[in-house]
Amino acid sequence: MSMLKNKVALLTGAARRIGAATARTLHTAGATVVIHYRHSAAEAEILQAELNAARPASCFLVQGDLLDISVMPTLIAQTLEQAGRLDILVNNASSFYPTPLATVTEQQFDDLIGTNLKAPLFMAQAAAPHLQASNGCMINIVDIHGMRPLQGYAAYCIAKAGLLMLTQVLARELGPNVRVNGVAPGAILWPEMTENHAMHTEILAKTALKREGNPDDIARTVLFLVRDADYITGQVIPVDGGRLLNH
């Protein structure tokens, strides 16, 4: 626990699902966690109560719509005000839904690029001086479909491909003081929207391990990159059960 003691991690979109699992894992490793949410106030408050019951004053909340980049400096300022410093930024917040070429709209494109690419860029901009001061690190939650296209999800795939490149760009720009890496989930936690369910069985059949992963698989990989990977930067680790082997 000592390695992340007195370290502060800000995680976007972390009230639920993979973000919440990652917050729990970093917290268990000793970090103070700041959970950002947009609409999921009830889940965020439940998670905060759980973590603060385990260790008092070790979890704080910040709220904002990441499509509005003017909120980024405010989120960082609120993090510093509540937790005192910033060592780790996890860009986890994401939108995911199909955008077939025949029907994709500009609003859908702007939303998917905004949450998956634009928001991490401007969060990084706002956080960078503080991460540099603490010799901190940044983790971007990418997607294997930023590496290989998913039929009917053009805007999402483009956005995640951009996030992969942003991870490399930031590693160059923020080195040597800040390490920047990514994790690319495969079939980990299936999105709740019904339009995303159709390919579930087909995609699982194409993984080498023939099964779905779980959020803790991602959370443990984030922890590795944060705590145990002092000489790794600019890399994106697929956590996909071998899905990329059989695209």
Q: Can you give the CATH number for the domain in which 29 is found? A: 3.40.50.720
Domains: count for the chain: 1
Provide the pLDDT confidence category of residue 190 given band limits of 50, 70 and 90. Answer: low
Q: What is the pLDDT of residues 19-63, one digit of tens each?
A: 999 999 999 999 999 999 999 999 999 999 999 999 999 999 999
DSSP state of 53: H
The answer to whether the beta carbons of residues 75 and 36 sit under 8 Å apart is yes
Question: What is the H or E stretch that residue 218 is in?
Answer: helix 215-227
Q: What is the dihedral of CA 211, 214, 219, 220, to 10 degrees?
A: -50
- pLDDT single digits (tens) 156-171: 999 999 999 999 999 9
Active-site residue list? 156
Cβ-proximal residues to 2 (8 Å cutoff; 6+ apart), any chain: 30
Which range of residues forms the domain containing residue 171?
2-246
Strand order of the β-sheet with 236-239 is 59-63, 32-37, 8-11, 88-91, 137-141, 179-185, 236-239
Question: Amino acid identity of 178?
Answer: V
CB 209 within 8 A of CB 241: yes
